[in-house]
């Protein structure tokens, strides 16, 4: 069973981690971040996306900035991003550690870091804000989002206490999808298992002939027996149903809206904060 889950995870990572581009929850998070960053008509020229992962948010940042650089310490992700976004002239990706890579002082208009800081130690968090402050031009903006649910890393108050006091907080947004996760994450796991099953079925005659067991009991025969109906209709139909659930904007907004009304504290999942570097030293 463990090997089956690992294979499914590897398949997902080789394509698109966590179905980021299609999930309603992720599209909403990206849209909120873009709205915050563009508040008051802010129009950055040079944007750095720290911890860019699979580049989905970096690519969206090109709607705001002239040039966007996405960096991540995972070189495989960077190479994949460079291939997938090769046609976008204003978007570059580079394997780098933000805390180690040199940037000219005041060379950036905006820095974004989504779900990154909880990978850092408290000292590295302090270094992150200090370096961000140094890299940003006066009036430059830093957008940070962090998970604040079931976390030993951050509460809203503890996160805000880590922010360099030289930054001014402009706006904050909160996302209430703690209970939505209880629907979304099992659906993603089902999609992973479905991916795995579809690949197994390519070799199902040989698997059955060799009497290999991938599923317990009679399920091995039922799931792996050659069947045009299953391959053409049942499995594609199940995939459409599962993707439809995690892609449904009405379902996402219904659940998160009710959560915000009924259980705002236990339902709060993410905090997004927009910070600004003082336009002149000593302004605040």
Q: Which pLDDT does position 282 carry in this prediction?
A: 54
CATH domain 38-176+268-277 topology: Rossmann fold (3.40.50)
Q: Which pLDDT does position 2 carry in this prediction?
A: 37
Q: Which pLDDT does position 15 carry in this prediction?
A: 52
- Residues near 126 by Cβ (< 8 Å), separated by ≥ 6? 162, 164
SS3 164: coil
Which has the closest alpha carbon to 190: 228, 232, 243? 243
Query: Percent of the chain having pLDDT more than 70?
Result: 90
SS3 166: coil
Q: Label residue 174 by pLDDT band (50, 70, 90).
A: very high
Is the CB of residue 107 less than 8 Å from the CB of residue 131? no
* Bigger pLDDT: 148 vs 175: 175
Least confident span in 11-15, 35-39, 65-69, 166-170: 11-15
Least confident span in 15-19, 118-122, 224-228: 15-19
- Sheet order of strands, 270-277 included: 91-95, 67-72, 46-50, 108-114, 136-147, 270-277, 167-175
Domain ranges of the chain: 2-6+179-263, 38-176+268-277
Counting other chains too, the contacts that 62-65 makes at CB distance below 8 Å and 24 or more residues apart are 62/88, 62/90, 62/91, 63/34, 64/34, 64/37, 64/38, 64/110, 65/90, 65/109, 65/110
Q: Which pLDDT does position 197 carry in this prediction?
A: 93
Q: Label residue 11 by pLDDT band (50, 70, 90).
A: very low
């Amino acid at each position: 069973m463990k090997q089956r889950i690992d294979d499914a995870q590897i398949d997902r990572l080789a394509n698109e981690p966590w179905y980021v581009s299609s999930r309603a929850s992720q599209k909403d998070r990206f849209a909120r971040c873009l709205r915050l960053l563009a508040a008051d008509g802010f129009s950055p020229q040079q944007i750095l996306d720290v911890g860019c992962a699979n580049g989905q948010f970096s690519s969206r940042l090109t709607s705001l900035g002239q040039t966007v650089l996405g960096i991540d310490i995972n070189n495989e992700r960077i190479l994949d991003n460079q291939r997938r976004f090769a046609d976008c002239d204003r978007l570059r990706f580079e394997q780098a550690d933000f805390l180690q890579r040199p940037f000219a002082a005041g060379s950036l208009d905006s820095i974004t870091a989504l779900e990154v800081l909880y990978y850092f130690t408290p000292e590295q968090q302090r270094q992150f804000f200090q370096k961000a402050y140094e890299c940003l031009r006066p009036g430059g903006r830093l957008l940070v989002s962090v998970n604040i649910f079931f976390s030993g890393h951050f509460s809203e108050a503890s996160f805000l206490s880590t922010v360099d006091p030289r930054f001014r907080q402009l706006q904050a947004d909160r996302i209430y999808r703690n209970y939505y996760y209880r629907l979304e994450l099992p659906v993603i796991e089902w999609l992973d298992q479905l991916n795995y099953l579809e690949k197994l079925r390519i070799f199902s005659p040989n698997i059955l002939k060799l009497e290999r067991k991938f599923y317990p009991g009679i399920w091995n025969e039922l799931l792996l027996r050659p069947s045009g109906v299953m391959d053409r209709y049942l499995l594609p139909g199940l995939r459409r149903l599962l993707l439809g659930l995690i892609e449904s904007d009405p379902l996402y907004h219904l659940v998160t809206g009710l959560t915000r009304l009924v259980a705002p504290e236990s339902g709060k999942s993410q905090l997004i904060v927009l910070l600004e570097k003082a336009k002149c030293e000593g302004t605040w």
